[in-house]
Amino acid sequence: MRTNHEIDYFIKGEEMQFVEIELDPQETAIAESGAFMYMDDGIQMETIFGDGSQQQQGFMGKLWSAGKRLLTGESLFMTAFTHTGFGKARVAFASPYPGKIIPIDLQQYNGKIICQKDSFLCAAKGVSVGIEFQRKLGTGLFGGEGFIMQKLEGDGMAFCHAGGHVMSRKLNHGEVLRVDTGCIVAYTQDVDYDIQFVGGIKNTLFGGEGVFFATLKGPGEVWLQTLPISRLASRILAYGTTQRKEEGGILGGLGNILDGDGR
């Protein structure tokens, strides 16, 4: 028996996906501020402290629960969408950048998933969106996500988004996968997350892949993305603020004109 609201969903789109959630009367979905796309008549929108999963707490308890979200870079508030009419109604939430939406049934993963700080999109009411501290010093300092990540707890559906293509990988007991730190989207609670030095002076100075790997040790399941938003942002920034290698020559100037940059 689920204690969280039980919702149906449809993921639509290719490069810029959105998830459409179907609500029965009195069912509720929660979402990050800014994720809303559209909703049917009969759905009521309400801004709440935190994720609304602990209604029994007093005001200070809710404020503390919401305040912890600031540590993950999220807003104090979330938005709840409740179907107050009859029949079925739908509400949709869109991913903020090109990539894929990952549906995760927390009931199938012992009620807990750990994910990167900005990956949570929406969930069924009752799912708790909290913080997960990295217990190892090296992981917190060099893991790419710092000491604090998000944790999703409950037995309902949760939806994360990631950049580019997303793959899942099941790790057997003791199996180790070495990953670029920015490519980790989420992993189950039994996976051991650590950091490993790349090693080798040439790899460190000229490899261009960073100084550390993330090591994920099974058993468990991990979700990886091909295009971390930090990598995309750095490439765009580099393209907009640096000159081409051949820009000083005639061909470089011609290339800029053809690209529309004739300054």
- Per-residue pLDDT tens over the stretch 49-61: 766 676 545 556 6
The CATH code for residues 8-242 is 3.60.160.10
Domain residue spans of the chain:
8-242
pLDDT at 140: 45
Taking alpha carbons only, the member of 90, 85, 80, 88 closest to residue 39 is 90
Q: Residue 111 — left, alpha, or beta (φ > 0 → left; ψ -120 to 50 → alpha)? A: left
Q: What is the rounded CA–CA span in Å between residue 119 and residue 127?
A: 15
Sheet holding 18-23, edge to edge: 8-12, 18-23, 89-94, 36-39
Model confidence pLDDT, tens digit, residues 57-74: 555 665 555 555 555 556
Taking alpha carbons only, the member of 37, 43, 34, 56 closest to residue 7 is 43
pLDDT at 15: 83
- Which residues neighbour 257 within 8 Å (Cβ) at sequence distance 6 or greater? none
C-alpha distances (whole Å) from 171 to each of 15, 150, 176, 180 are 28, 21, 7, 17
- Residue ranges of the chain with pLDDT lower than 70? 50-52, 54-75, 134-147, 198-211, 240-263
pLDDT at 62: 59
pLDDT at 238: 74
